[in-house]
Amino acid sequence: MATVEECRAALRKLAEQFDEVDEETKAKHVVDRSVSCHVPDLGAVFHGRIHHGGIEFRDPAPGERARDADIRLTISSDDLVALVDGELDMARALFGGRVKIEASIGDLFRLRRLL
């Protein structure tokens, strides 16, 4: 099981990878959205925003819940680290039930183009 700090590092790396997406693609597919990443095996939830400037994650504010986000991911700590490191394919993880994404259909299509 990965640690909370390893998950934070993975999310920082995800933000760096997002920064590498070309500006034209971002302009077409990025809409300002709140996002949460629930890591049940650690009992942790990370909150953030996706916007034209990038992805920013932070620990939740008091009273903030994962279900309040526009885009909600649920993934184990090990799978989060493996996914960001390129050791786990997102499509296989989704279809295999290793990651769950709750979002509008429009947000799902936009995410698909960005990840």
The residues spanned by each domain of the chain are 4-114
| CATH code linked to domain 4-114 | 3.30.1050.10
**Helices 77-84 & 4-19 angle (0-180, nearest 10):** 30
Q: How many whole angstroms separate alpha carbon 104 and alpha carbon 96?
A: 20
Task: Determine contact, residues 51/30, Cβ cutoff 8 Å.
Answer: yes
Q: What would the pLDDT profile of 87-109 be if each residue is shown by its tens digit?
A: 999 889 999 999 999 999 999 88
Q: How far apart are CA 7 and CA 20, in angstroms?
A: 20
Reduced to 3 states (helix: H, G, I; strand: E, B; else coil), residue 100 is strand
Q: Which residue has the higher pLDDT, 88 or 28?
A: 88
Convert the pLDDT of each residue in 29-88 to its tens digit.
888 999 999 999 998 899 999 998 889 988 766 666 667 899 999 999 999 999 999 999
Question: pTM for this one?
Answer: 0.86
For residue 110, the model assigns a pLDDT of: 82
Greater pLDDT, 28 or 62: 28
Nearest CA to 35 among 56, 6, 17, 12?
56
